[in-house]
Each structure stands twice: as structure tokens, then as C-alpha cells.
Amino acid sequence: MKRYYGLLYVSLSLTSCIIKCDKELILRQAKENHLVDYGNASQLSRGDLGELFLAQDSKDSRRVQIKSVNQMVVGDDSELRGASCGYHAFRNGVLAAHGLINNDGKRAALKSLSSQSHANKLFGTKLAPWRLEIGKIRNESTARRIGREMIFSSLALSKEGADADFDLFMECTGSITLPTFEHPEIWEDGFHYKATKKEIYAAIIERCNKLAVHGNRQLKDKVKTFTNRATLDAYFKGDLKIDFKIDFEGRCYRMDSPDNVIARVPQEKNGSWVQTDEMQKLVKAQRGDGILANEPTLLVATYGEYHGGCDEHAVASEELVQLYSLIRNTKQDCVGVVLVYLPGESRPERSTNSFMGRMYSYVGSFFEHAKKIQSGQDNGHWITLVVSRVKGNVRYYVLDSLGNSNRLRNERINEIIDAFDGKKSLPGYDWTVDQISRQYKGNVKSQSHARYSWTKIGLGLVAAGLVSYGAYALYTHQKKK
């Protein structure tokens, strides 16, 4: 009997080891990706905030609401103001984080937070950098499709002897990548996409070589033929090029026929509304030389319906999982920005300003609501939660660009804070170690992680086998009695 119980003990120990390995993997990756220097960090006191202080929760003094620029006054025209909450939420969170991380630069960060001109510079016009970045992101799939169509329209489909290899050649040509798709020229009225025959040929050859390297046996025999310029000249006719424009309204024109609309960017990708996937790409783009240049590893997470309302439950991004892991499983200092999506109609819950301030907020909300109905966009709203732990002291800072509405007790804010406090799980996710690991590991691509996973699979199989054997042996032993 002791032998059987010993086997059960060993198998349970292995299972515990697997869970511990998962936890350590998450923490290690979170620490590696969060290399912000907190040597000069400090919390934002009421004195630091001054006029930016709006409210402090009476039941939880860790929750503080900070005043931000009202979105209804930022932008050249009403079209740019109505649904700009995503841009404001991102800007507000990063500036508040800057003030927390660098005590010497706190005053400058808070000054920018209250600056209408600072917001205007980032996204107040159609040619502002953040607007252009979102425009490029939204246009990319449409630009690739139009580019492929222009290339295919120049193919010599009736070329003798081409039929046998034509499908294979189409596979290569249809999946090429050109720099212009991601980095078009910026014009006053839109984006210009252009590629010469030389650039297209180079892209086809690069794609053929990559497919051959990755083990496509059929292509390996043909790659030399497909990468020969004479063969490419025979496959194409006329003047091969890509040359078209997508304006700011999403209309697409060939440059040699500027009066004829050949395509349109899908309606859901127009307007000022920033969707979840677009927000994540904007954050990534800003880590190079944008607003996150000084803290490129600052955790900026999203929490809300993916694509602005397609899922029934809130979706926590990979960065939120890392931030949760740092808060719950370590004692190290950390600051993270959570961009929180509020689904459905987002009327102000309770304003902290004067009577006139509240009226201004509701009027702004009304016009925003009307604008979204007209454009067919999801009537949701982005707000900001900044999570900060400095010298063991945890604080939560909330910001809302829609009239500075009081969101200290917002349902989504409560969900995140309660999860960080260990009181309950987030909707759609059980915040246990294995659930966190399951979500987080799906996004980790490193080779070391792959080997680590196979090790755990092996340990799991051994543990399962020992449990099964022990249970069977114990059953047999008792049956003999």
C-alpha cells in the first residue's frame, strides 16, 4: 500500500511542478518585456495633480480620477471630435504613466495631459501622425487586394507553355509583400501606393525563394525558372506597375484614371472610431519613435470586446495578462496602462464638474451618439485605467475624455481592480495560473518556449500514467482482499 500511495504522491508532485513551471514562464516573460526603470518613480499626489485632480473614491482611496482634455474640443472639425475617444484614452494613459515613472518629468507630463494643443498635434487633423497611422492600418488589406489585381491584369494568360506552371506561379505572385502596402506616400487628400516593375519582380523572386526554402518540393524545381527575369518578362505583358490612391474617405482611384472609383475601403474601417486590433497596432507603432519612445517596454494593454463589440465577453490582451502576473505574483514596482472598452451607449455616469460642466458633457455625448449612428459605428467608448505600484503602494488612476465623467466605480474598472486584488475573475477568464498560462502561451513564439512546452507535455504524460497505474494497482489490491 505504501508503494501505491508513493506513486500517487510522485504523480501529484509532477503535476504541481508543471503548474509552477507555467507560472515561472509567465513571470519571466513579463519581467523580460517590462524593463522600465523605476528608480525615479513616485505616485501622483493630490498636490502633484493640482487642478487635474477630479475625485478620489470614498470607499477605496487607491482609486483617483484625473482630469483630461475633453474630446469634443480637440480636432479641426466635428467629424474628428465625435468618436476620438480611442486616441484620447491612449494619450491620457501614456502621459499619466510618464508622470508616474519619471519624477523629474512629472510636471511636464501633467502639463501635456491638460494641453489641447498636444492632443491636436497627435490626432487633431487628418494629416496628424496618429490619424495617418490608423489610416495606413485600415487601408492595408484593401491596398494589397488592389495591388494584386493590378499585377494579375498584366499577366499574359495565353502564353504558350505557361498553363502547366501557371497555378504555381500565381501562388507566388498572389502572396508577395511590397513596402508600399504598409508605407504609402502621404498626400494632402490621401495615401498614394506605387511600385515599379523592378520592385514587383524583386518581391516575386523573394517570395519564390522563401517558399522553396520552406520545403515546397514542387516549387524547388521551378524556382530557378520563376526567378529568371526573362521568364517573368514572358509571363507579363505591357507596363507592369502599381499606381493608385486611397483618399481619406476610403475611395480608391487608379492614377491614370482619377475620376473612376475602382474600390472602397470597407465601411467599418472608416470614421474616427478606433477598433481593438487597430489600437494594438497603433501602440506597437508608437514604440519606435512615437510617444512610447522613452519607455518602449511600457505595458499598454487593452480590455474589451475585440473589434469593438464582436464578442459577448471582455477580451484581455496579452499585455494585461503580463501586468496581472506582475501585480499578483511579484512585489516589484510596475506601471501599466489599460485601455478599457465600454460596450454599448456610453452616457456619462456622473460628472465631477459644475452644473455647466455636466451639461457640456451630456451635450457632447449626445452629438457623439448621433455621429456614430450616422456612420454605422459601434456606440461604445474607450476610457483609461493606469495601474501603478511604487514602493509597494498600489494606486489606480482613471481618465475619461468624454466630459471627464466619473468612472471610478465603472463595472469594467471594478472587474480589473478586483482581479488585481485577487477578489474575483475577469469575465470569460478564470484567473488561475493554468488559465493565464493557456492564454499567454498562445502568443509566445520563442524557440526556448517551444522546447519548454514539450518538456511539460512529457512530464504531464508521465504524471498521468503514474496516476492511472497507481489507481489501478490500488483497485486491484483492494479487490484481492
Helical H segments across 274-400, by residue range? 276-289, 318-329, 355-375
Q: Concatenated DSSP letters for 102-138?
A: -GGGHHHHHHHHT-HHHHHHHHSSTTSHHHHHHHHHH
Q: Is 28 among the domain residues?
A: no
Query: Residue 251 corresponds to which amino acid?
Result: R
Verify that 97 and 191 share a domain, yes or no.
no
Verify that 331 and 418 share a domain, yes or no.
yes
Verify that 435 and 476 share a domain, yes or no.
no
Helix (H, G, I), strand (E, B) or coil at 347: coil
Using CA atoms, how far apart are residues 173 and 160, in angstroms rounded to an integer? 19
Q: Is 257 among the domain residues?
A: no
Cβ contacts of residue 130 below 8 Å, gap of 6+? 87, 122, 123, 282
Helix (H, G, I), strand (E, B) or coil at 302: strand
Which residues is 338 bridged to in the sheet? Answer: 301, 385
Verify that 281 and 387 share a domain, yes or no.
yes
Verify that 376 and 449 share a domain, yes or no.
no
Instruction: Single out the residue of 291, 280, 305 nearest to residue 137, CA to CA.
Output: 280
Which residues is 389 bridged to in the sheet? Answer: 334, 394
Verify that 289 and 376 share a domain, yes or no.
yes
Per residue in 5-48, pLDDT (tens digit) is 565 555 556 555 554 555 555 555 555 555 688 888 999 999 99
Does the reported pTM lie above 0.85? Answer: no
Cell readout for 247 is 483618399
Verify that 104 and 182 share a domain, yes or no.
no
Residue 359 CB neighbour total at 10 angstroms? 13
Q: What is the structure's pLDDT at 283?
A: 95
Sign of CA dihedral 338, 269, 127, 255: positive
User: Which range marks the domain in which residue 467 is found?
Assistant: 2-19+445-480
Q: What is the structure's pLDDT at 80?
A: 77
Q: What is the structure's pLDDT at 356?
A: 46
Contact 92, 113 (CB under 8 A): yes
pLDDT along the chain (481 residues), means of 10: 56 55 54 71 94 95 96 83 88 96 92 94 93 93 93 73 66 85 93 95 86 68 75 82 93 91 80 84 91 91 64 69 88 94 60 45 44 48 95 95 93 92 68 48 41 54 68 68 59
Q: What is the structure's pLDDT at 357?
A: 47
Complete edge-to-edge strand list for the sheet that includes strand 257-264:
185-187, 190-195, 242-247, 251-254, 257-264
Verify that 378 and 433 share a domain, yes or no.
yes
Q: Is 388 among the domain residues?
A: yes
Q: What is the structure's pLDDT at 310?
A: 42
Boundary residue ending a domain (205, 231, 247): 247
Cell readout for 326 is 506582475
Verify that 313 and 414 share a domain, yes or no.
yes
Verify that 294 and 347 share a domain, yes or no.
yes
Q: Is 266 among the domain residues?
A: no
Q: What is the structure's pLDDT at 312?
A: 42
Contact 248, 76 (CB under 8 A): no
Verify that 117 and 133 share a domain, yes or no.
no
Q: What is the structure's pLDDT at 17?
A: 59
Burial class (CB in 10 A: 0-12, 13-18, 19+), 203: buried
Q: What is the structure's pLDDT at 39?
A: 85
Q: What are phi and psi of 270, to 5 degrees?
A: -105, 170
Verify that 42 and 89 share a domain, yes or no.
yes
Q: Is 26 among the domain residues?
A: no
Q: What is the structure's pLDDT at 444?
A: 43
Which residues is 243 bridged to in the sheet? Answer: 194
Report the number of distinct structural domains present in the chain. Answer: 3
Q: Is 252 among the domain residues?
A: no
Q: What is the structure's pLDDT at 355?
A: 46
Q: Is 165 among the domain residues?
A: yes
Q: Is 267 among the domain residues?
A: no
Q: What is the structure's pLDDT at 348?
A: 43
Q: What is the structure's pLDDT at 254?
A: 94
Q: What is the structure's pLDDT at 185?
A: 95
Q: What is the structure's pLDDT at 30?
A: 54
Using CA atoms, how far apart are residues 333 and 308, in angstroms rounded to an integer? 31
User: ∠ at Cα 453 (449, 459), nearest 5°?
Assistant: 145
Boundary residue ending a domain (229, 247, 265): 247
Q: What is the structure's pLDDT at 261?
A: 93
